[in-house]
Structure 1
Amino acid sequence: MMRQRLRCTPAHEPPLAVLRTDGRLTLRTAAQLRTALLKCLAEQPIGILVDAAGLTIGEDMSLTALMAASRHAAAWPGVPLLICAPSRDMRAALRRLGADRHLTLCTDLDHGRAMAVRRALPAQVRDRFPAAAASVPAARTLVSGACERWQLPVVVEPARLVTTELVTNAVRHAGTPIDLTVTRGRRYLHLAVRDYHQRRSRLTASEGRTERGGRGFLLVEAVSSSWGCTLLPDGKVTWASLHLTARSRI
């Protein structure tokens, strides 16, 4: 009988994250894989390598866990997901789903390591702030400085506005240390605020109208190309992407 359990063992190999998988991937066990991938993503490596040598596929749709994780990684913080040593069946299933266009397939872990390291790294700054009101202007200063160094005058003001909302929300509702990451991609500036409380950030009109000191996530939605909230095993990341050439609509 084929194994029904799935084991996901993370290994931190700075600047990479490796996730070793062993067992059968089904619609039931796909949630385990997605959780493990998000935990790897929280370390913000330059790439996540999934060792699929011991992974078998129960049904094609179980691979949507990889596709969903890949979308999260691409949006925040621009981390590629590399599938190492996929079986012939897995390759065929990925092709049927069209997922091979979004995931990088490698012959083995060494191949994956080489491909990830060769990838041009985006410009990035990051810092940790306490859950205090003074962290909001400090985070804005960090973002402004990064935009100035990268010569991105068009996005300075939208980035400052979005940073204010994301950090203010984390200070008020999470009450934990806050990690801010600013990444310059090829077309977008990515802002990611990591906290350690599992209360999902939500878009609410009332928050923008009634809470003192902020206009809520309505503002984030208005000035961003996309935004979202990714829950992690020990907290969440609220992120937003700003197009490098798009002017603010506010």
Structure 2
Amino acid sequence: MTESRRFSLQSGPGVVAECRDLTRQVLDEWFGPRGAEGRAALEDVLLLVSEVVTNACRHGDAPYELRLDRIDGKLWVQVSDNSPLRPRPHGRHRPAQSSGHGLYLLQRLSSAWGWLPRGAGKTVWFEMPVGRPGDLAL
């Protein structure tokens, strides 16, 4: 089963919250009510969406598209921005710092992540495994 949703984004205040809300709505539609494990997995997805969109705002000349795909047991989230610069960590992870955790969280919480050139910019993506309808499992 393949399902997709694509959203055009307006840059500016509130785009991170907008992307979280859009993602939650789509996942509620696709997966319905969830048990405790599914709710925890949903929160992980929403955290990663926040991180990727925040990175696009800070380093990527603003995000312009959010895309969610459910393909072959995986949820694939993509955020596109206008900067061609690839995402890269700024040194090793330092837990005591107040920022700089986005790529570390992507590595820890997603099953895979990466980036692709897109037009003059790029798309950063991550995957999460999904279970049967009504469940979202890690």
TM-score by length of 2: 0.79
Corresponding residue for 2:24? 144
Any stretches of 5+ residues in structure 2 without a counterpart? Answer: 132-136
2:65 touches 2:81 (CA, 8 Å); kept in 1? Answer: yes
Letter in 2 for 1:173: H
Corresponding residue for 1:175? 61
| 1:192 paired to 2:78 | yes
Instruction: Quickly say closer, same or farther: Cα 1:226–1:129, change in 2 above 3 A.
Output: same
1:131 touches 1:175 (CA, 8 Å); kept in 2? Answer: no
Instruction: Quickly say closer, same or farther: Cα 1:209–1:134, change in 2 above 3 A.
Output: farther
2:8 touches 2:64 (CA, 8 Å); kept in 1? Answer: yes
- Taking only the aligned residue pairs, the percentage that are identical comes to 26
Alignment of 1:202-217 (within 5 A): 202-204=88-90, 205-206=92-93, 210-212=97-99, 215-217=101-103
Higher normalized contact order (CA 8 Å, seq sep 6+, divided by chain length): 2
CA offsets, 1:36-79, max 9 Å, x none? xxxxxxxxxxxxxxxxxxxxxxxxxxxxxxxxxxxxxxxxxxxx
User: Which of the two has higher C-alpha Rg?
Assistant: 1
Tell me how far apart the structure 2 counterparts of residues 207 and 164 of structure 1 sit (CA, whole Å).
19
Tell me how far apart the structure 1 counterparts of residues 96 and 124 of structure 2 sit (CA, whole Å).
21
Size of the aligned set, in residue pairs, is 126
Q: Matched residue of 2:31: which SS?
A: coil
1:170 touches 1:195 (CA, 8 Å); kept in 2? Answer: yes
Alpha-carbon deviation of 1:207? 7.7
1:197 touches 1:235 (CA, 8 Å); kept in 2? Answer: yes
Q: Matched residue of 1:210: which SS?
A: coil
Q: 2:106 aligns with which of 220, 226, 232?
A: 220
Tell me how far apart the structure 1 counterparts of residues 45 and 54 of structure 2 sit (CA, whole Å).
14
TM-score by length of 1: 0.46
| 1:163 paired to 2:43 | no
2:93 touches 2:104 (CA, 8 Å); kept in 1? Answer: no
Corresponding residue for 1:125? 5
Tell me how far apart the structure 1 counterparts of residues 113 and 48 of structure 2 sit (CA, whole Å).
10
Letter in 1 for 2:110: S
Corresponding residue for 2:134? none
Alpha-carbon deviation of 1:178? 1.9
Any stretches of 5+ residues in structure 1 without a counterpart? Answer: 1-119
CA offsets, 1:98-156, max 9 Å, x none? xxxxxxxxxxxxxxxxxxxxxx6x21112122332410011001111111111164232
Q: Matched residue of 1:160: which SS?
A: helix
Instruction: Quickly say closer, same or farther: Cα 1:179–1:207, change in 2 above 3 A.
Output: farther
- Give the alignment's Cα RMSD to 1 decimal: 2.2
Tell me how far apart the structure 2 counterparts of residues 200 and 208 of structure 1 sit (CA, whole Å).
23
